[in-house]
Amino acid sequence: MPNLVAIVTGGGSGFGEAIAQRFAAEGARVVIADFNPGAGERVVADLRARGHAAEFCRTDVSVSADMCHLVAFAVERFGRLDVMVNNAGISHPNGPMLNVSEADFDRLYQVNVKSIYLSAVHCVPVFRRQGGGGFINIGSTAAVRPRPGLSWYNGSKGAVVLLTKSLAVELAPDKIRANAINPAIADTPLLTTFMGAPDTPENRARFLASIPLGRLCQPSDVANAAVFFADPASEFVTGTCLEVDGGRCI
Ligand SMILES: NC(=O)c1ccc[n+]([C@@H]2O[C@H](COP(=O)([O-])OP(=O)(O)OC[C@H]3O[C@@H](n4cnc5c(N)ncnc54)[C@H](O)[C@@H]3O)[C@@H](O)[C@H]2O)c1
């Protein structure tokens, strides 16, 4: 993917960091957009130390002015924008659905769902001007095979999947693609939130039992799928929501 320019939201940790590292290794220029400046700047410093072109842009993906600035920043620094990876996401802790406050519900949908709307609002005009572009949205197996205790999170990821297909079908005439990746539960800082319990061998074993290939998802699994969607070699692939889940959704 030489010279391709990508934004990775939530690029300061977990899947986003792995996607940024893989994209850069494939020759892409990357903008890390994260709420947490320490995390984002650490990843950018690491990428630059390996000789890659990378920039950090502090962004709250739920705020239109931030997303507007992010897209303009990427175009200003690198001259274009080819791929928007909507990866930043949060969850409520695994637990009874009525324990989630209205404020936490609103925040969840602002970060996980409104961000997709805002990315369209600010990226589509740039993609149209350039004659194409691509969205890669990080959904979850939660959208396809929901677990109890994560109801509102499950719904937010269901929206990510349907919005991906909607963007794909509506924007296809503009040569703008949209695909999603649905990872299974992974070894990232979000793990204990999804478990709703400490990361003990017993709790891990409970989750591993629900994944046929017998391990958690790794950030590199998601990064490999993202490279496929970003690469022009997948130019005929759009509206695909790919499970990267060790068989969890079979
Ligand atoms: N970890 C899992 O088990 C798992 C499984 C399936 C899907 N996912 C999804 O994958 C994505 C990444 O998850 P992860 O496990 O790598 O998470 P993570 O917590 O390791 O990283 C998320 C990053 O997003 C940033 N972020 C959070 N809110 C933000 C905001 N409003 N604006 C900008 N940045 C923000 C955080 O600072 C952090 O750097 C999320 O959308 C998550 O829902 C995770």
pLDDT (tens digit per residue) in 188-222? 999 999 999 999 999 999 999 999 999 999 999 99
Whole-number Å distance, alpha carbon 33 to ligand 1 midpoint, is: 12
Q: Would you state the pLDDT for residue 1?
A: 86
Contact call for residues 156 and 109 (beta carbons, < 8 A): yes
More confident residue, 160 or 204: 160
Average pLDDT, the chain: 97
Testing ligand 1's pocket by substitution, the residue of 188, 193, 248 carrying the most ligand atoms inside 8 A of its CB is 188
Provide mean pLDDT across the span 161-182.
Answer: 98
pLDDT digits (tens, 9 = 90+) for 96-119: 999 999 999 999 999 999 999 999
138 class by beta-carbon count within 10 Å (0-12 exposed, 13-18 middle, 19+ buried): buried
**What's the predicted TM-score (pTM) here?**
0.98
Q: Would you state the pLDDT for residue 131?
A: 98
Provide mean pLDDT across the span 52-63.
Answer: 98
Ligand 1 binding residues, C-beta < 6 A: 9-10, 12-16, 34-36, 39, 59-62, 87-90, 111, 138, 140, 183, 185-186, 188-191, 194
The residue annotated as part of the active site, out of 15, 153, 194, 229, is 153
More confident residue, 188 or 65: 65
Q: Would you state the pLDDT for residue 2?
A: 86
R_g of the chain, CA atoms, integer Å = 17
Residue carrying the six token digits 């589509």: 124
pLDDT digits (tens, 9 = 90+) for 137-151: 999 999 999 999 999
Whole-number Å distance, alpha carbon 14 to ligand 1 midpoint, is: 7
d(CA 109, CA 96): 18
pLDDT for 227 beyond 90 = yes
* Closest by Cα among 146, 161, 135 to 61: 135
Provide mean pLDDT across the span 150-155.
Answer: 98
Write the residue with the smallest CA distance to atom 21 of ligand 1. 13
Whole-number Å distance, alpha carbon 173 to ligand 1 midpoint, is: 31
Structure confidence at residue 13 as a pLDDT band (50, 70, 90): very high
Range 5-188+217-244 has CATH code 1.10.10.10: no
Verify whether residue 117 is a known catalytic residue: no
Give residues with Cβ within 8 angstroms of 129, minimum separation 6.
none
Poorest-confidence range of 38-52, 74-88, 194-208?
A: 194-208
